[in-house]
């Protein structure tokens, strides 16, 4: 349709039809066949179940070409104006082929692979009839107690921005009318990743400048990449819930960030203005969200029940609704739904697309590149295939490797670690040893007996997938005690121990590090996880992942992140001789494993860091070069990282900031000269008046393998060129 036709269509709609377009429900509310004739289960007690929502303009949480095509036909047959339904779902890290969780994908530092994973997810989901994914989540995260850190790509604004762009490109392709694409919905606007105490849905309190400097850039990157929807956050911003927040949504998002797509609430968030304490009732909640600019209300009936009355009393204008409805129709038009309401959903295409071998191959490669080798004492890894290994632990044969938000993935399609290791070596035996949370003396004894006969022990430990993700907050982020007991039992035998961790957040690893010779952080690696991890264990692949979220020394350090601000009394050494400094008396200030950290089976030597001068300007950037040599015995990939520090600012500046990086693949003995260009804009920041500019002065430039292990030089940034 042309834009004028969409405007005309809006004019033909009744007020009720407009409000229905602004409402999203699950399929059961559109067609009772999806709930066996009635709205049952947890939905039955919800307010939305008490109204007729059968005319709602979009559906979430249902998938499958046959189901969605049938649902679309029923809806279209009963819709006066033949406006098709939008089908949306949480396609977060894969549809049927499940990729690693986003935090793991971030640890690959490979934005091209991330884009490819989103492209595959879109291809599979679109063949199954879906139109929109509630992804990417670009929330910056610094507190691993919050379960949803697994959905983010980490603690750095640059990396989060680059991955946000990559995911949007992957989902949406060049043209949304292509039937193997999905519209991307960036979330959660804004700063959902900073809840107090790491407790989901909790208060967020960040300064305006902090919001602009660290939290908004990734959303802006997603918007600039063309994301067609934005989802509001559950939390407050400056004391106002995001879903009722007019300065946030109409001010920052629409006016400042130039977003002109659809704004959708998160599940029930419009009505949650009442328990937040900013709306007395559902009528007021509807009014505040409509005024704020929420186009679609998800799974509560505040709009259905109250928008019409609010317009009749003059408290809202119908023009406000027309703007929202036009944006929704524009999205449906972009997707080509007016020409083909069944866009992309095809049972035969679905059959040949889902879990295609090329998709699984990509998932396997990305899973391997996302794993981070944290420890490798005496080079116990990689294993020889002839080594007698015993695989022990609750994740030895478990298929719970997909992680949260893999709702359409199936465990029957997951490769376990046992399956992966035995496909590469005939010298592997397996035993459970313990449950995730429970101990069993018989299992412990069996584990001990098998370990005694082995040359090396591989412990498969971690969190159940439900221990992270939404509503998966934890006050203590150690491994469950049953697994520590298992590790202690096996360690008493004196055999080399390799621990593989399956989890969705950085953990407090003090206990397990002391018991292990090697530790491989595998995260939740997805459908092909067992193969990917096994190939790393046996050296068929070389670990290349680098952390994008710091691992705390213990929970008491949290939040701990690499780009923290300077203090007036910084700790200068590792001793406690001077008490009156910013420090802990019982643990280091630094994390256990810093941002950017990761080991390899080879070694990389950094030499000859060279700068093109002692000063640089806006017109004449600084060129930085460094020679990277593979000084080990096998081919490997290094992530060469460039950091900067502005030593003096109008406001306090971070002690370190990632500004660029390179992925370098080198054969043994090979050297590559890596080039970076450092320009003045890298030192721009938000000043106290929220103006964006850079200051002349002394700056540090660092290049290295992680945020703590770098070479550095001090140079001067000046306003004008010489002469």
The neighbouring-strand residues paired with 457 are 390, 497
Q: Helix %, strand %, coil % for the chain, to 5?
A: 35, 20, 45
- Check residue 37 and give its pLDDT: 38
**CA gap 344, 91 in Å, rounded:** 16
- Check residue 587 and give its pLDDT: 92
**CA gap 39, 228 in Å, rounded:** 31
Long-range contacts of 376-380 (CB under 8 A, 24+ apart): 376/517, 376/518, 376/599, 376/601, 377/517, 377/518, 378/496, 378/517, 379/601, 380/456, 380/496, 380/498, 380/517, 380/518
Q: Are 675 and 621 in contact (CB under 8 A)?
A: no
- Check residue 205 and give its pLDDT: 96
Q: Domain boundaries in the chain?
A: 604-718
**CA gap 187, 140 in Å, rounded:** 11
pTM metric for this prediction = 0.97
Q: Which letter does DSSP use for residue 239 in this model? A: T
Q: List Cα–Cα distances, 578 to 82, 571, 587, in angstroms.
A: 75, 9, 15
CA angle 32, 35, 37 (to 5 degrees): 50
**CA gap 700, 647 in Å, rounded:** 7
- Give the 3-state DSSP-derived string for 189-210, with helices as H, strands as E and coil as C: ECCCCCCHHHCCCCCCCCCHHH
**CA gap 583, 561 in Å, rounded:** 15
Best CA proximity match to 255, nearest among 220, 290, 228, 227: 220
**CA gap 592, 12 in Å, rounded:** 62
Contacts of 611 (CB under 8 A, 6+ apart): 622, 623, 624, 701, 713, 715
Determine which helix (DSSP H) or strand (DSSP E) holds 315, and give its type and residue range.
Answer: none
**CA gap 638, 536 in Å, rounded:** 16
| Ramachandran assignment for 697, one of left (phi > 0), alpha (psi -120 to 50 degrees), beta (any other) | left
CA angle 170, 411, 143 (to 5 degrees): 60
Q: Are 671 and 627 in contact (CB under 8 A)?
A: yes
Residue 718: both structure tokens together: 């000046």
Work out the angle between the directed axes of helices 111-127 and 157-172 (0-180°, nearest 10).
40
3-state secondary structure at position 89: strand
Q: Strands 622-630 and 456-462: what pairing? A: unpaired
**CA gap 408, 91 in Å, rounded:** 8
Q: Strands 615-617 and 685-686: what pairing? A: unpaired
| Cis amide leading into 118 (omega within 30) | no
3-state secondary structure at position 490: helix
- Check residue 574 and give its pLDDT: 64
| Domain 604-718 = CATH 2.60.40.10 | yes
- Check residue 31 and give its pLDDT: 81
Q: List Cα–Cα distances, 712 to 219, 362, 575, 615, 703, in angstroms.
A: 31, 37, 24, 15, 6
Q: Strands 604-611 and 262-264: what pairing? A: unpaired
Q: What is the pLDDT of residues 384-393, one digit of tens each?
A: 999 999 999 9
Contacts of 617 (CB under 8 A, 6+ apart): 680, 717, 718, 719, 720, 721
The neighbouring-strand residues paired with 701 are 644, 713
The neighbouring-strand residues paired with 412 are none
- Check residue 662 and give its pLDDT: 98
Residue 191: both structure tokens together: 């700063």
3-state secondary structure at position 95: coil
Best CA proximity match to 661, nearest among 627, 704, 719: 704
Annotated catalytic residues are: 266
Q: Does the CA dihedral 662-507-190-117 come out positive or negative? A: positive
Residue 4: both structure tokens together: 């004028």
3-state secondary structure at position 301: coil
Q: Which letter does DSSP use for residue 656 in this model? A: -
Low-confidence ranges of the chain (pLDDT < 50): 36-42, 723
Residue 346: both structure tokens together: 């095809």
**CA gap 615, 715 in Å, rounded:** 6
Phi, psi angles (nearest 5°) of residue 189: -85, 115
**CA gap 682, 698 in Å, rounded:** 13
**What length does the chain have?**
723
Q: Are 628 and 606 in contact (CB under 8 A)?
A: yes
**CA gap 284, 42 in Å, rounded:** 25
Q: List Cα–Cα distances, 630 to 332, 384, 600, 703, in angstroms.
A: 52, 22, 11, 16
């Amino acid at each position: 349709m042309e834009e004028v036709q969409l405007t005309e269509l809006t004019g033909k709609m009744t007020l009720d039809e407009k409000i229905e377009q602004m409402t999203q429900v699950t399929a059961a509310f559109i067609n009772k066949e999806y709930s066996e004739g009635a709205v049952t289960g947890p939905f039955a007690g919800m307010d939305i179940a008490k109204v007729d929502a059968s005319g709602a303009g979009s559906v979430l949480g249902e998938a499958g070409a046959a189901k969605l095509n049938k649902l679309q036909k029923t809806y279209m047959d009963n819709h006066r104006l033949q406006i098709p339904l939008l089908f949306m779902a949480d396609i977060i890290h894969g549809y049927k082929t499940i990729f690693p969780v986003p935090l793991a994908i971030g640890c690959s530092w490979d934005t091209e692979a991330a884009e490819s994973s989103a492209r595959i997810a879109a291809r599979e989901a679109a063949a199954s009839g879906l139109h929109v994914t509630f992804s990417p989540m670009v929330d910056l995260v610094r507190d691993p107690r919050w379960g949803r850190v697994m959905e983010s790509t980490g603690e750095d604004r640059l990396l989060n921005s680059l991955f946000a762009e990559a995911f949007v490109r992957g989902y949406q392709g060049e043209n949304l009318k292509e039937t193997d694409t999905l519209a991307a919905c960036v979330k959660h606007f804004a700063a959902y990743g900073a809840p107090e105490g790491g407790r989901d849905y909790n208060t967020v309190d960040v300064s305006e400048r902090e919001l602009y400097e660290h939290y908004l850039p990734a959303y802006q990157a997603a918007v600039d990449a063309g994301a067609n929807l934005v989802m509001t956050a559950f939390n407050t911003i400056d004391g106002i819930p995001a879903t009722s927040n007019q300065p946030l949504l109409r001010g920052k998002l629409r006016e400042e960030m130039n977003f002109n797509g659809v704004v959708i609430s998160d599940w029930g968030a419009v009505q949650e203005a009442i328990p937040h304490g900013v709306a007395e009732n559902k009528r007021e909640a509807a009014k505040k969200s409509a005024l704020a600019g929420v186009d679609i209300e998800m799974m509560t009936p505040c709009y259905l029940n109250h928008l019409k009355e609010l317009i009749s009393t003059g408290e809202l204008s119908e023009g406000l609704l027309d703007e929202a409805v036009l944006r929704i129709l524009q999205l449906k038009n972009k997707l080509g739904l007016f020409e083909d309401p069944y866009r992309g959903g095809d049972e035969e295409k679905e059959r040949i697309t889902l879990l295609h071998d090329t998709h699984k191959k990509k998932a396997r490669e990305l899973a391997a590149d996302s794993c981070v080798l944290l420890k490798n004492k005496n080079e116990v890894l990689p294993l020889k295939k002839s080594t007698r290994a015993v695989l022990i632990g609750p994740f030895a044969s478990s298929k719970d490797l997909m992680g949260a938000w893999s709702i359409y993935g199936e465990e029957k399609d997951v490769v376990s670690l046992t399956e992966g290791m035995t496909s590469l070596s005939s010298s592997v035996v397996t035993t459970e040893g313990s449950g995730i949370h429970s101990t069993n003396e018989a299992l412990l004894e069996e584990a001990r007996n098998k370990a005694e006969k082995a040359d090396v022990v591989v412990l498969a430990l971690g969190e159940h997938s439900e221990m992270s993700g939404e509503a998966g907050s934890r006050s203590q982020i150690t491994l469950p005690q049953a697994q520590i007991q298992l590790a202690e039992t096996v360690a008493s035998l004196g055999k080399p121990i390799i621990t593989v961790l399956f989890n969705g957040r950085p953990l407090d690893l003090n206990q397990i590090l002391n018991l292990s010779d090697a530790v491989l952080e595998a995260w939740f690696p997805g459908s092909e996880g067992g193969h990917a991890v096994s190939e790393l264990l046996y050296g068929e692949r070389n670990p290349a992942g680098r952390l994008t979220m710091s691992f705390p020394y213990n929970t008491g350090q949290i939040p701990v992140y690499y780009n923290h601000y300077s203090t007036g009394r910084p700790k200068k050494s590792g001793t406690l001789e001077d008490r009156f400094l910013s420090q802990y008396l019982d643990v280091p200030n630094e994390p256990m494993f810093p941002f950017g950290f990761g080991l390899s089976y080879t070694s990389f030597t950094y030499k000859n860091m060279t700068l093109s001068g002692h000063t640089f300007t806006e017109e004449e950037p600084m060129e930085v070069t460094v020679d990277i040599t593979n000084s080990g015995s096998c081919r490997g990939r290094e992530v060469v990282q460039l950091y900067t520090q502005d030593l003096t600012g109008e406001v306090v500046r971070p002690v370190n900031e990632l500004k660029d990086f390179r992925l370098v693949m080198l054969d043994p003995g090979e050297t590559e000269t890596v080039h970076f260009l450092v320009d003045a804009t890298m030192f721009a920041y938000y000043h106290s008046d929220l103006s964006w500019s850079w200051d002349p002065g002394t700056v540090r430039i660092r290049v290295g393998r992680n945020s703590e292990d770098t070479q550095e030089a001090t140079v001067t940034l000046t306003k004008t060129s010489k002469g």
